[in-house]
Structure 1
């Protein structure tokens, strides 16, 4: 399984998050302390409430403390870009903020229960987002292939789960707590507490991530502005015209839906009904799958 077509097409928020996480890990996690990087980045109750080290709080939510954690973490973040493509960059940004905020509150409550407020009991890294994403992964991504290895039953989703388990147990209790808090945060988002699934961030903030997309995609989207005025008006009219229901779905859109675990023929039919809108087609397939 993969998260759709290669690259970060239609996933600028995930792209920015992965790049930031990798850079923070290199400069503050791996290079910044080697084996001691974990203790320097790990959060304590004192960091949050007594000294309020805001910079350390930011670093701890992006930087992994070791190379293996970086490898599995970035792999999972890259795969879960499929959810940004499904719900859109704006709502995915809300999902990131909500999961991070709720997970931080839960971790703080647990830290306050320990007698030693200075102990670094939490490992660093975007565990909240990664493990919150396992909730829609478990509920929304169907299994398409099953196979046996030495009598053990596996599916095409097993590799993602194994990577998650490896990351969850990477630092034992210090990594298990952020992971469990992330799962709880993802479950609360799924339950639509306070109507969070309908919330959106201001468009000017969301557009910031769109401007960070690959230059090739930006130049492609800006190409019509370089044409003559008459051709530009024709391009705008053709772009705004409704897409005929008989249009042949693009191979990229079909590949995106197939990567989510849907049958290729079902994906093609859903795209036809949705007029080649991947998000609408995903909803059609998910509704039919739930029935």
Structure 2
């Protein structure tokens, strides 16, 4: 299991988010203010510090959290490649907004104006991403160490646990809010999974991006006997004689498709990743 091709290819939103998180964390860390970025009852209900609401969504409060968080954000770029940059931007805003509402409710229940109850950082996006990671990313390898069984997903879970426990209660609360937000997105409340930004807003990232991928959920890694029939039924251009690129194949494989099936779909779709993804999804559905 991997996040697909290395780097931020076809993941411009993730790239921008990772850079912003790193810059904000380093900036406030140098100024010695990162430990004060956690949200408190006073920030929301008394002084209403809007700037703190925004900054706390990006800047981690410690170097340990920064490294763990950036590693997870970088890995989860696979979801942007899967649903496209436009819908992934919606996912980021939705998870952040829902998490903020839940955190506000939590702070209103404590009513302690002196304590920073919630730690800072993009916990909403990180832990919301664990929902599709758990449900959609298949296990492709299992192994044992000293009698303990692991899978290729174990290291991602371990990094998540480390981040979740990094500030104890302060980080556990924010992590749980993120998981709830990701679950609500998964349940498609208000049809949120079909929501998109206007094209002129999405084009802000267009100079960094390749064509967006399908918005369907990632299927298990398998080869379908119906692939050929679905490829012929799908309204796509005639098969290409050009061999699909290894990068395009790797992108589809990272979404859980079988390598041979991915190659065949790309041939039928004339190397169009969008069309190839639809062919594979239709074949899997049958």
Aligned positions, number: 260
Contact 1:249–1:268 at 8 Å: present in 2 too? yes
- 1:122-168 Cα distance to aligned partner (Å, 9 max, x none): 11100000111111111111111111111111111111111111111
Contact 2:240–2:269 at 8 Å: present in 1 too? no
1:251 is aligned to 2:250: no
TM-score by length of 2: 0.84
Q: Which residue of 1 aligns with 2:31?
A: 32
Distance 2:111 2:121 in 1: 24
Give the CA deviation at 1:280.
4.6
Give the CA deviation at 1:10.
1.1
Give the CA deviation at 1:245.
2.2
Unaligned runs of 5+ in 1: 218-241
TM-score by length of 1: 0.83
Distance 1:68 1:140 in 2: 28
Distance 2:73 2:67 in 1: 10
Distance 2:154 2:182 in 1: 20
Distance 1:275 1:185 in 2: 38
1:160-179 alignment to 2 at 5 Å? 160-179=156-175
1:260 is aligned to 2:250: no
1:114 is aligned to 2:103: no
Q: 1:289 to 1:159 in 2, by over 3 A?
A: farther
Q: Which residue of 2 aligns with 1:181?
A: 177
Distance 2:129 2:275 in 1: 20
Give the CA deviation at 1:262.
3.5
Distance 2:136 2:281 in 1: 7
| Structure with the largest fraction of helix | 1
Unaligned runs of 5+ in 2: 211-235
Distance 1:129 1:74 in 2: 11
- 1:149-192 Cα distance to aligned partner (Å, 9 max, x none): 11111111111111111111111110011111111101101111
Contact 1:21–1:64 at 8 Å: present in 2 too? yes
1:190 is aligned to 2:186: yes
Give the CA deviation at 1:274.
4.4
Distance 1:261 1:74 in 2: 23
CA RMSD of aligned residues (A): 2.1
Contact 2:237–2:269 at 8 Å: present in 1 too? no
